[in-house]
Amino acid sequence: MSENAAVPAWHPGEAACPVVFAETVGLYTPPAAGSLPSDAAVLFLSPWGFEEMCTRKLWRLLAERAAVQGLASLRFDYPGTGDALDPAAAPDLETWDLAAAEAARTLRRLSGARRLVLIGHGLGATFATRLGMTLGADAAVLMAPVVSGRFYLRELSAWSKMVDEGLGLRPEQRIAGGIAIAGLVLPEKIAESVRGLNVERLEALPFAKTLVVERPGRDKDAALAAHLASLGAEVARLDYAGYDDLVSNPTLARQPLAVIDGVAEWLARFAREEAAAGATEPLPCPALLQGDGFVEEPLRFAENGRLAGTLCTPAGPRRGATVLLFGTAYDRQAGWARGVTETARHLARNGIASLRFDAANVGDSPPAPAAPEQVQYSDTQLADARAALDLLSARGFGPVIAAGRCSGAYLAFRAAVADSRIAGVVPVNVYTFRWDPDMSVDEALRANPRSLGDYRQRLFDPATFRRLFAGDINLGRALSNVGLQILRRLVALAPGLFGRFTRAGRLSLAAHGDFHDLAARKVPVLLIYSEGDVGLERLKLDFGRRGLSHHGNVTIATIADADHNLSPPQAQAAYRALLLDTALKAG
């Protein structure tokens, strides 16, 4: 199947079909092959910020379950978020409302559906109650709804501090003066409108039927269900088991399978209430998003259209090498703090094309057959890298340099070693160049290792002792991290004694071989690290005092005043300048 072939039905293992409207990108999932198309369709209304990152995969799973029941669906990004364009003026809530209205019209036109179901999560559930009548919704699923906007913003502020502390950001590195979380800033006009929202004050019934998915211990969720019932709605209720495990961290998010089952069953009953759908329209192909200095083509590629990605090209002449942007962990292709999308567009404005995409079982790409559930640091992701390179080769986008951060940096490096089509590689804050197959990825991620220098600095910080006595620090995990790093120092000091007789030593020797191979192929390698990043310390341990200086193809750059995620804007700017320079030289 070609990258953007319009399909009359969804098949398991396929990514959703990209569509463009209202200066944003939507992902349309038709009814599944063999199902009886319903006259109802599902419009997803996303939460905002960190919560949206955590629930991106949930939306895909629910869309696929809805498709099996004959329900078409559409999910989309609000203007100024994700892969949508940035409005010319600062967006207000009306901007997002207009995009939702156009999304509903697009969904009805593509699916032929007469009835509309809204599924909202967090702030998106609040939008569903606000827009139900305007959009002509017949029913809604309200998941963890925000009942009071004022309380939500206070809660978001506390949540933001916890995320920043987890990232190791110092107070001066944090975004101040507005509502922000995980490097994302809620526009001031929208924040002001959200502050005034309170769905308990609803006086008119927004939809006839609703399923309220209630968080444990949140009385306001139950109160909203009761209020909607008092207005005359037919209300069903479902416990939100696993909510905290879903929204605590996009890298470690666990999907609430019991809740997905419950929502799917409710949708199935609703789908069977009326006759089949009306006439549908063919999908626009290709879907293009015209931006300021760039053109983006959201697409599907690889066998059976299983991977979702975005090809970003300059509006003017193209120059230099094309950049293949690998995502980090389970972050959607837009990246942490939307950094990958903004990097791609910055490159395009400077003449550089790029491809960003979700690897299998990440974000909007379904899992690959026979692949493990945990795909981070798995060699199975190399098949996704090859598929991306195949696409770029077929489109005539070469030469290619690979770039990524953390686990994306690891994949970029491994892909460069494995595939000679990669002409350069830019790993950022790579933790290791050879993953220990006996090490649990989940356990390693939960350990959140830091450099010995960082531990030393925190040891003399009074705040550390306050957090320790409050029980906010896992002392055993911290001591284990320190012990592992001391062992690696011993290996570096005496490679002859420890190198071949320890697992860490053997992996280090294998990494040496990888760098020798890249040097023999004359592949430029630019290693970028935040100052004090644990990956930089591991680099020194694995390669000793001499480091990689004997390889003329390897350059090491550091970015000052940056965390592992490159959250501060100045850190992102420094990274983009280095990446752009590398792409221009490789062309």
Q: Identity (one letter) of the amino acid at 165? A: E
Predicted pLDDT of residue 129: 97
Question: Residues 254-262: contacts with CB within 8 Å, 24+ apart?
Answer: 255/57, 255/58, 255/61, 256/58, 259/143, 259/213, 260/58, 260/61, 260/62, 260/65, 262/211, 262/213, 262/238
DSSP line for 22-76: TTEEEEEEPPBTTS--BSEEEEEE---THHHHHHHHHHHHHHHHHHHTT-EEEEE
Residue 251's pLDDT is what? 85
Question: pLDDT of 123-173, one tens digit each?
Answer: 999 999 999 999 999 999 999 999 999 999 999 999 998 888 888 888 888
Residues 6 or more apart in contact with residue 356 via CB below 8 angstroms: 309, 310, 312, 325, 327, 333, 334, 335, 340, 341, 344
Enter the CATH code of domain 17-147+202-271: 3.40.50.1820
What pLDDT is recorded for position 505? 75
Backbone angles phi, psi at 77, to 5 degrees: -100, 135
Domain boundaries along the sequence of the chain = 17-147+202-271, 289-586
64's tokens: 């696929």
Q: Chain-centre distance of CA 540, in angstroms?
A: 30
406, 448 in Cβ contact below 8 A? no
Query: Could you give the CA distance from residue 62 to residue 275 in angstroms, rounded to a whole number?
Result: 22
Q: Could you read off the pLDDT of 290-349 as tens digits, one per residue?
A: 999 999 999 999 999 999 999 999 999 999 999 999 999 999 999 999 999 999 999 999
- The pLDDT assigned to 166 comes to 81
In the chain, the amino acid numbered 174 is R
Looking at the DSSP bridge assignments, the partners of residue 45 are 120
CB 47 within 8 A of CB 152: no
State the distance between the two ends of the chain, measured CA to CA, in whole angstroms.
30
pLDDT mean over 373-401: 96
Alpha helical stretches, state H, 438-562: 441-447, 452-459, 462-469, 475-493, 503-520, 534-543
Residue 480 has pLDDT above 80, yes or no: no
pLDDT at 2: 41
Q: Which amino acid is at 85?
A: L
Alpha carbon separation from 203 to 101, 128, 198, 227, 237 (Å, rounded): 22, 15, 11, 10, 21
Tally Cβ neighbours within 10 Å of residue 5: 11
Distance between CA atoms of 269 and 272, rounded to whole angstroms?
Answer: 5
Edge to edge, what strands does the sheet with 307-314 contain?
289-290, 294-301, 307-314, 354-357, 322-326, 400-405, 422-428, 525-530, 554-559
Return the SS3 of 113: coil
Domains 17-147+202-271 and 289-586 equal at CATH topology level: yes
Could you tell me the two tokens for 499?
Answer: 């190198």
Rounded to whole angstroms, the Cα distance separating 315 from 440 reads 44
What proportion of the chain, given as a percentage, has pLDDT over 70? 88
Work out the mean pLDDT of the chain and round it to a whole number.
89
Confidence of residue 475 (pLDDT cuts 50, 70, 90): low
Q: Encode pLDDT of 201-222 as tens digits.
A: 999 999 999 999 999 999 999 9
The pLDDT of residue 461 is: 53
Pick from 418, 395, 408: nearest CA to 356: 408
In total, the chain counts a number of residues equal to 587
The helix (H) or strand (E) run that includes residue 162 is helix 149-167
Residue 201 Cα to chain centre, angstroms: 34
pLDDT in tens, 494-548: 555 555 556 777 888 889 999 999 999 999 999 999 998 999 988 988 887 667 8
Tokens of 492: 């570096």
So what's the pLDDT on residue 30? 95
Q: Which pLDDT does position 177 carry in this prediction?
A: 80
Amino acid letter at 419? D
Q: pLDDT tens digit string along 392-449?
A: 999 999 999 999 999 999 999 999 999 999 999 999 999 999 998 888 888 777 665 5
Retrieve residue 264's tokens. 């799917």
Report pLDDT digits (tens) over 29-75: 999 999 999 999 999 999 999 999 999 999 999 999 999 999 999 99
Model confidence pLDDT, tens digit, residues 257-284: 999 999 999 999 999 887 666 667 777 7
Architecture per CATH, domain 289-586, reads as: 3-Layer(aba) Sandwich (3.40)
pLDDT at 457: 53
Number of alpha carbons in the 13 Å side-chain half-sphere of residue 119: 25
| Interatomic CA distance for residues 432 and 436, integer angstroms | 9
- Cα–Cα distance for residue pair 286/321, rounded to 1 Å: 24
